[in-house]
Structure 1
Amino acid sequence: MTRVDPNESAHAAQGGRNRAIVIGAGLGGLAAAMRLGAKGYRVTVIDRLDVPGGRGSAIWQDGHRFDLGPTIVTVPQLYRELFAVCGRDFDDAVTLKSLDPFYEIRWPDGTRFTAQQDTGRLRAEVARLAPGDLAGFDKFLEDSAARYWFGFEDLGRRSMHQLWELIKVLPTFASLRADRSVYAHAARRVKDEKLRMALSFHPLFIGGDPLHVTSMYILVAYLEKEFGVHYAMGGLAHMARAMADVIEDQGGTLLMETEVDEIVVRDGSVTGVRLATGLEMGADIVVSNADSGHTYTNLLRNHRKRRWTKKRLTRTRYSMSLFVWYFGTKGTAQGWPDVGHHTILNGPRYAGLLRDIFIKGKLCDDMSLYVHRPSVTDPSVAPEGDDSFYVLSPVPHLGHDNGVDWSEEEPRYKAKMLKMLEEQLLPGLGEKISTEVVFTPETFRDRYLSPLGAGFSIEPRILQSAWFRPHNISEEAKGLYLVGAGTHPGAGVPGVISTAEVLSTLVPDAQVAR
């Protein structure tokens, strides 16, 4: 990674025309910087971490690579379009490997459901699990397609900062029953509770409660089936590095291990940023890939807000947080032959557990787990013969009055997780672990400056989506823009990449010097 002297960058950026600063080298920030570079801006990306990628970065320990956040790539044409705008070929830089089946869902009674792309095999799985629900499942897929083309390809790829844009689409929202939750929509189509879970859990991938998130998000079923589920060889960290390479090839700079303390606003317009060191860097525009709550509460703390006040943000509902256990195992590459790349382990409850996590803020003894075993696809994640895993459990964020001290709870919660893994998926696991790292909600708060330690920023409920979500173009200061999970269209890798596409429609082309 290129290291740059902040003083040198400051001199280069002070007063320069067509200078842009991007706060945060997450995937949204990197995509924004690429698009700005393609529009002629000289971009400086600033991030407090030591590598690009944000939640999509990785850490290396004892020969293992642990991908910290997203594990799959969907809608691959988004990334190909992004690189093409910059005159690059995505497939020259990143190798995608199709995963089929996508993942396996398991229940405590031994029932399994395998999600896959082939329509015939997928319908056979449904017929095996819930034969009476096959017609309802077919209808659910039709519903999903309609919501994909409207919600993702239309609304998700254009700005929704003007109220009129929302008013125009209200009839479509009504006809698609956007007021209904994802789970409620699945329940209208199928009767089997296990199949309802399999069709409704996807909002958890973007921090949403399936019992309350708008049914527009059933679009994920179509998105996966139509375009497939892929793994980027080398992990999302490799893709982030490829994006950073494009930025540097465009003449941009990545300033790592550097923290922005404040966005500087004078006479209603941004003039740059002030670093934690006190150094001020000038820019014509500033794009924040930091969490929108952190941006407005902390980075604009000395600027009076009209819309995104501290009071309003306090009322905002944030996503759940996560407990993530990363571990390497010794000599297991040929072990556990029925455990694939992605497995979802259900606990004994579904709706009740969701209410405890999202509504009551209760840390429960039971849990559901998302198990990522990339070494079955990508041997580079672990020493030869070994495995790298991450196991994720949704937990309440830090804003609930639940009294959880994660420094004390971590070993207890990890022990419960280990017991479930050994009983239902990975027998003998405890004796095989050779190295480990744990992220708690406090890690998300401290590492990513995420309000309340939320895993996915603002929860995508209907009144926190589209126009109701923090806008890509800020109304608080001229020249300030937002990208990333906390703005429109929202969380998830396709969502944050799309925020940069929306940004590119709002920012004027750089002015050519005469």
Structure 2
Amino acid sequence: MLTRVDPALSPEAAAPVAPHAVVIGAGLGGLASAMRLGAKGYRVTVLDRLDGPGGRGSAIRAEGHRFDLGPTIVTVPQVFRELWAASGRDFDADVDLRPLDPFYEIRWPDGSRFAARQDTGAMLAEVGRLSPGDVRGYERFLKDSEARYRIGFEDMGRRPMHRLADLVKVLPAFARLRADRSVYAHAARRVKDERLRMALSFHPLFIGGDPFHVTSIYALVSHLEKAFGVHYAMGGVEAIARAMVKVISAQGGQVRQGVEVDEVVLREGRAVGVRLASGEEIGADIVVSNADAGHTYDRLMRNVPKRRWTAPKLRRTRWSMSLFVWYFGTKGTRGLWPEVGHHTILNGPRYEGLVRDIFVKGRLAKDMSLYVHRPSVTDPGVAPEGGDTFYALSPVPHLGHDDPVDWAAMEEVYRRKVQDVLERELLPGLGKHLTASRVFTPETFRDRYLSPHGAGFSIEPRILQSAWFRPHNVSEEAKGLYLVGAGTHPGAGLPGVISSAEVLAQLVPEPVGVEVAR
């Protein structure tokens, strides 16, 4: 029984004291977990080493610009609405979501373009314009995507997968849907045009996966986009994180920033709290780690013998790629570059070869593909009047490969290459308008987020690193320890990390004798 009685009270006045949950990390998964636990009646303390909430979804400010550091879109808003509803609140009263149309535009070196939209007719027209012979195949791909969504997201993605029996139950569906086939291989069976094959298969890159090796179950993203749209939160994802903190505070919980957890404290095989880098110890009835699963097991539980997630196993694990992100501001550009919308994907001359260099060979290629975020076309307050705020993201190898990139030497060289590509292919004259400039390399991801090898999205979501094969939401290494976030089930991306908190709520015991105030 988790309920505690305060010993300072007399027997007559004694009343149940809500059990205490400590959450390590104020990323979106950690904050969502705190909300779920608060709704259950737990007293919750969230601990985070950064100076503001959101983790990878936080922001920095420079010269009047707000730079959203990580995720920029919301693809399944109902997971947030359900989270708020579980806390007795209204998400749409706290967060202003704006639908994007188009979601993004993909551009290729030959000058062709593809605008992704929610409307089926508009998408069929886009496919027909690029490759008329692929329209029927695209329609089949959409049906395939919906079937994979039903299994991969609504079923597996929203319930625990820590028992082997849970995996066995879905194997027939996996076989039927050819989960052994990669996303790219599946797209290639439906459409012939290489540009469309890329447009239908690149989505795993948003969660750190190699499209040529990640299971075709992840084709479900195309259905997510079509069914629910793609949205932008005014104020950025940081605005969602800050709204979450307000809910946690209203529940009686607290979020402490600027404190780093150094170790999970165990007693007789059970997590009983955490020790901070300062030496302070905080007791808990349960501990929830939103830190990277690799960091949790390799660092925070370094003094605990592990049965499954041992150091050798973590070394054998395949990690997602990392990211090079250039955040930059411009002045005098509002209205300039009118064909550049909120999101643009600039493809380099290679697709498979570039992906192979990043994931398999672990080398920094001479060419690049870029994901360009221009939020100021939707949210003018992100930049000073008359200016724009951007980030350009290039997938790059993580630091765990043989002969990793020396980013201290390459940072400015590579940033200059990114600028050259942007000036040549998207933003002519960019250099004349530049103001603020910040760069994140894989070393930043390693040092800021304590991400193993500087991986951008934790463990790569290959088929044998997904569901039951992934670090479980309820730890097998210590009783009372739970994991949420990108490195656990169901995986990376905003829908994944928010759903990990939903799974957590199904696993954590109900407090006994504690009334929940809504």
In structure 1, the residue matched to 2:33 is 32
Q: In the TM superposition, what is the alpha-carbon distance from 1:511 to its structure 2 partner?
A: 2.1
In structure 2, the residue matched to 1:399 is 400
1:240-286 deviations in whole A, cap 9, x for unaligned?
00000000110001110000000001101011000001111100000
Letter of the structure 2 residue corresponding to residue 247 of structure 1: I
Q: In the TM superposition, what is the alpha-carbon distance from 1:430 to its structure 2 partner?
A: 1.1
1:361-402 deviations in whole A, cap 9, x for unaligned?
010110000000000000110011100000000000000113
Q: In the TM superposition, what is the alpha-carbon distance from 1:479 to its structure 2 partner?
A: 0.3
1:210-241 deviations in whole A, cap 9, x for unaligned?
00000000000000011000000000000000
Q: In the TM superposition, what is the alpha-carbon distance from 1:16 to its structure 2 partner?
A: 6.8
Query: Structure 2 CA distance, aligned partners of 1:178 and 1:447?
Result: 35
Contact 1:371/1:392 (<8 A) preserved: yes
In structure 1, the residue matched to 2:490 is 489
Q: In the TM superposition, what is the alpha-carbon distance from 1:94 to its structure 2 partner?
A: 0.2
Helix, strand or coil at the partner of 2:231? strand
In structure 2, the residue matched to 1:6 is none
Which ranges of 4 or more aligned residues in structure 1 deviate by more than 3 Å? none
Q: In the TM superposition, what is the alpha-carbon distance from 1:171 to its structure 2 partner?
A: 0.7
| 1:73-472 correspondence to structure 2 within 5 Å | 73-472=74-473
Please list every run of 5 or more consecutive structure 2 residues that lacks an aligned counterpart in the other structure: 1-7, 9-15
Q: Percent identity?
A: 73
TM-score by length of structure 1 reads 0.96
Letter of the structure 2 residue corresponding to residue 409 of structure 1: M
Helix, strand or coil at the partner of 1:242? helix
Helix, strand or coil at the partner of 1:184? helix
Letter of the structure 2 residue corresponding to residue 430 of structure 1: G
1:111-157 deviations in whole A, cap 9, x for unaligned?
10110011111100000101111111000000000000111000000
Q: Given the superposition, is the C-alpha separation of residues 403 and 37 from structure 1 closer, same or farther in structure 2, using an over 3 Å criterion? A: closer
Query: Structure 2 CA distance, aligned partners of 1:169 and 1:219?
Result: 16
In structure 2, the residue matched to 1:61 is 62
Contact 1:471/1:488 (<8 A) preserved: yes
1:275-334 deviations in whole A, cap 9, x for unaligned?
001111100000000000000000000111111111111100000000000000011011
Query: Structure 2 CA distance, aligned partners of 1:169 and 1:347?
Result: 38
Contact 1:324/1:438 (<8 A) preserved: yes
Letter of the structure 1 residue corresponding to residue 165 of structure 2: W
Contact 2:362/2:404 (<8 A) preserved: no
Contact 1:161/1:472 (<8 A) preserved: yes
CA RMSD, Structure 1 to Structure 2 (Å): 1.2
Query: Structure 2 CA distance, aligned partners of 1:323 and 1:402?
Result: 17
Query: Structure 2 CA distance, aligned partners of 1:105 and 1:169?
Result: 34
Query: Structure 2 CA distance, aligned partners of 1:249 and 1:29?
Result: 16
Helix, strand or coil at the partner of 1:410? helix
Q: In the TM superposition, what is the alpha-carbon distance from 1:84 to its structure 2 partner?
A: 0.5
Letter of the structure 2 residue corresponding to residue 313 of structure 1: L
Please list every run of 5 or more consecutive structure 1 residues that lacks an aligned counterpart in the other structure: 1-10
Query: Structure 2 CA distance, aligned partners of 1:202 and 1:164?
Result: 29
Helix, strand or coil at the partner of 1:327? strand
Helix, strand or coil at the partner of 1:154? helix
Q: In the TM superposition, what is the alpha-carbon distance from 1:513 to its structure 2 partner?
A: 5.3
Contact 1:44/1:254 (<8 A) preserved: yes
In structure 1, the residue matched to 2:3 is none
1:78-100 deviations in whole A, cap 9, x for unaligned?
10000010011000000000001
Helix, strand or coil at the partner of 1:153? helix
Letter of the structure 2 residue corresponding to residue 471 of structure 1: H
Q: Given the superposition, is the C-alpha separation of residues 353 and 513 from structure 1 closer, same or farther in structure 2, using an over 3 Å criterion? A: closer
